[in-house]
Amino acid sequence: MLNSEQLRSFAEEGYLVVENVVDRDTVLEPVIAEYQTIMDRLWAGWAAGGQAGAPGKGASFEDSIIAAYRAGMEYFQPMDISLPPGDITPDTSFHAGPAVFSMLTNELLLDAVEAIIGPEITSNPIQHVRIKPPATDLTEDEIRAHITSTAWHQDLAVTLEEADRTRMVTVWLAVTDATAENGCLQVIPKSHRGEMLPHCPLPQVGVPAEFFDEQAAIPLPVPSGGAIFFHPLTI
């Protein structure tokens, strides 16, 4: 799927934006429908338990997420595609539905990954679905990375040391349009040529500002169905 120029750019810059990696109608719409079903189930449970009232008849998915956040309901983990770190119990929830599995195993997506790291592909458990309310709806003390903006970091920092000996690539897939205005991913180009930087609680785990030049950052807008591929040392 990726041509020689794209692979050269990835090696040079440490990232690559590719549009139309997955099809909106056949891949993403089933994912969106799957998550709407989860949202409906969560709200039904909250309402039945007297924890929160329904967001309103005919509420959109976005409205439902905002209402859940404002009510203090936990919606992230039931919608995430991996188990959390730390204490895991038989009741710990995560989502592994058929539409999400179809997206992760999409042929064009895997072809692109193969072009970068080769045909032996393993999906590690450090993977998430980020469904974030607009910043205007967040509380001032919100620090959770899956809810608000994410601290500057390198993905290799959250793997085990033994993973340093493997070829890795991160795939950031856009289910909805990601723009500079609504908070798309940003990277420091060519930062993958450096070393692993110190990561500290900021309060999110991230790289302190004195170790890199944030002014060198560029936004990477990507439309729905597109993807960003980046090196695990890219900031």
- Tens digit of each residue's pLDDT (9 = 90 or more) over 98-127: 999 999 999 999 999 999 999 999 998 889
What is 48-61 written as a DSSP string?
Answer: HTTS-----TT--H
At residue 45, the pLDDT reads 93
At residue 32, the pLDDT reads 96
Report the chain's mean pLDDT, rounded to a whole number. Answer: 94
At residue 71, the pLDDT reads 93
Ramachandran quadrant class, 133 (left: phi over 0; alpha: psi -120 to 50; beta: rest): beta
Helix (H), strand (E) at residue 187: strand 186-187
- Tens digit of each residue's pLDDT (9 = 90 or more) over 56-65: 778 899 999 9
CB under 8 A, 24+ apart: contacts of 125-131? 125/82, 125/83, 126/82, 126/155, 126/158, 126/159, 127/81, 127/82, 128/80, 128/81, 128/82, 129/35, 129/79, 129/80, 129/81, 129/95, 129/100, 131/35, 131/65, 131/75, 131/76, 131/79
At residue 1, the pLDDT reads 80
* Spans of the chain below 50 pLDDT: none
At residue 104, the pLDDT reads 95
Nearest Cα residue to 1 out of 117, 92, 159, 111: 111
At residue 224, the pLDDT reads 97
At residue 11, the pLDDT reads 98
